[in-house]
Structure 1
Amino acid sequence: MRFDIISVLPDLLDSPFAHSILQRAQKKGIAEIMVHNLRDYSTNKQKSVDDYPYGGGSGMVMSIPPFARCIEALQAEREYDEVIFMSPDGVTFNQTIANELSGKGNVIILCGHYKGIDQRIRDLFVTREISIGDYVLSGGELPAAVLVDAIVRLIPGVLNDETSALSDSFQGELLDAPVYTRPADWNGHKVPDVLLSGHELKINEWRHEQALLRTQQRRPDLLED
């Protein structure tokens, strides 16, 4: 799977993609993550990519030409399944969307700044708008990193244990059950007996019950949905 991320701050994404699972996925050739500097597609001397908003008001708006040039240059090289804009007013990202996007081939991600991007870019190029929550960040780079991380770990061959992702929270609309490791008894605080029983059916039943209970207590909205 290939990700092409368009940003005015490409250096901000160096670290998230250079470690852990994302680094491993790229070294294996399972995922390719390319970050493009939007200023490289500006034709003015100052390499600016924003301008004052029509109708007045505070802040600056990211202009059409640099985004259009970059997107069109990428689309001339390959076909893309999605052009995603990270935006606070997009659809809230969740595990279902991550599962769906992990089956795609090539994806472009646009990172906004300032007051946002010219609406015409959204109308003409963007196929999907995604938010990572009901709050505003300084730019779209961190949401883009969240999106890529959540998707890449689902691609077959990325995790050493591919079944691990299938038991994560939100898979099956439930939070994950509590997990334990050694020692079995730490200062009198013991691991539940069922997990030490070796009885797979009982363990699975316990985990499902605990997942349901935790979801009821912490995220009842998931059960309502």
Structure 2
Amino acid sequence: MVWTAHILSLFPEMFPGPLGVSLAGKGLKDGAWDLKVRDIRDYAIGKHRTVDDSPFGGGAGMVMRPDVLGPAIDAALAGSEEVARVIYFSPRGRVMDQAFARELAEGPGAIMVCGRFEGVDQRVLETRNVEEVSLGDFILSGGEIAALALLDSVVRLLPGVTGNRESLEEESFADGLLEYPHYTRPPVWEGRSVPEVLLSGHHEKIREWRLRQSEELTKARRRDLWDRHKA
């Protein structure tokens, strides 16, 4: 079964975007993963193809209608051979992290709802068991950029996309720590030398040095990660 992303968006032309190039693009072309994009406006109401309306109770902005978004999600679910998770990008949601990306990569795929306007009708989220997910503590114009970011983090974990599987195991967040510094040729550049241990050929000492560097960086820059790692 190929891992499949079902995207619901008012701007389907934004996909695959940057995911159509490099390793993700090659993986998509080779069938390592699949992408299906639906235009939410195909499920719009009336001759004016309305997808939003003013909020009950008043307030600024517009809200995406449940009788538009609900059928769009249903169509994506019907097009999924296995039950996929339905994700809506929202500042209220769980913050995306590497653990979440790995969770998704281990499943059959996901339906990703890219909202616009002030938000979507709460009834859709409740009746379709939608998970709210956030890219971070800032506001975007819509969910498309968040979807691209999440897709990139998931797709690179899939078999047949990233060639060097070992590199995935050593990168930042793989073990709850930030990644150690990297060096390459030349050994001396602008008066700065590569740490001697990396030139020693002593693999155990190199492993210990990298672990210490990861710990020190995490402790200094991401105290939240460090506290979780120690716990």
- TM class by shorter chain equals over 0.9
C-alpha displacement of 1:10 = 1.3
Structure 1 runs not aligned, ≥5 long: none
Query: 1:124 is matched with which residue?
Result: 127
How far has the Cα of 1:28 moved from its partner? Answer: 2.0
Paired amino acid for 1:159: T
SS where residue 164 of structure 1 aligns? helix
Is the aligned partner of 1:52 residue 2:19?
A: no
Looking at structure 1, the residues matched to 35 and 50 of structure 2 have their Cα atoms a distance apart, in angstroms, of 25
For residues 131 and 146 of structure 2, the distance between their equivalents in structure 1, rounded to whole angstroms, comes to 14
Map 1:112-151 → 2, pairs under 5 A: 112-151=115-154
Counterpart in the other structure of 2:42: 40
Q: Report the TM-score when normalising by structure 2.
A: 0.94
Residue 226 of structure 2 aligns to a residue whose secondary structure is helix
Aligned residues: 225
CA distance in 2: counterparts of 1:153 and 1:222, whole angstroms: 23
Displacement of 1:79: 2.7
Paired AA for residue 173 in structure 1? G
Match of 1:99 in 2: 102
- Matching residue's letter, 1:58: A
SS class of match (1:6): strand
Post-superposition, which runs of at least 4 consecutive aligned residues in structure 1 deviate over 6 A? none
Aligned partners of 2:16, 2:102: CA distance in 1, in Å?
25
Alignment of 1:1-225 (within 5 A): 1-77=3-79, 78-225=81-228
> Which has the higher mean CA deviation after the structures are superposed, 166-175 or 13-22?
13-22
Q: Distance in 2 between matches of 1:23 and 1:140?
A: 21
Whole-Å separation in 2 of the counterparts to 1:7 and 1:96: 25
CA contact (8 A) 1:80 1:108 kept: no
Query: Counterpart amino acid of 2:41?
Result: R
Cα distance between partner residues in 1 of 2:21 and 2:142 = 22
CA distance in 2, matches of 1:63, 1:213: 49
> In structure 2, the residue corresponding to 1:16 is in which secondary structure?
helix
Deviations 1:59-116 (A, max 9, x none): 0000012211122122223232300111111011111111111101031000111110
Q: Distance in 1 between matches of 2:42 and 2:84?
A: 24
Gaps of 5+ in 2: none
Q: SS where residue 5 of structure 1 aligns? A: strand
In 2, Cα distance between the equivalents of 1:82 and 1:204? 38
When the two chains are superposed, the root-mean-square deviation of aligned CA atoms in Å is 1.2
CA–CA distance in structure 2, aligned partners of residues 28 and 164 of structure 1: 21
TM-score of the two chains, using structure 1 as the length reference: 0.96
Contact map agreement 1:85 1:126 (CA 8 A) in 2? no
Q: C-alpha separation between the residues in 1 aligned to 2:16 and 2:148?
A: 10
User: Is the partner of 1:129 in helix, strand or coil?
Assistant: strand
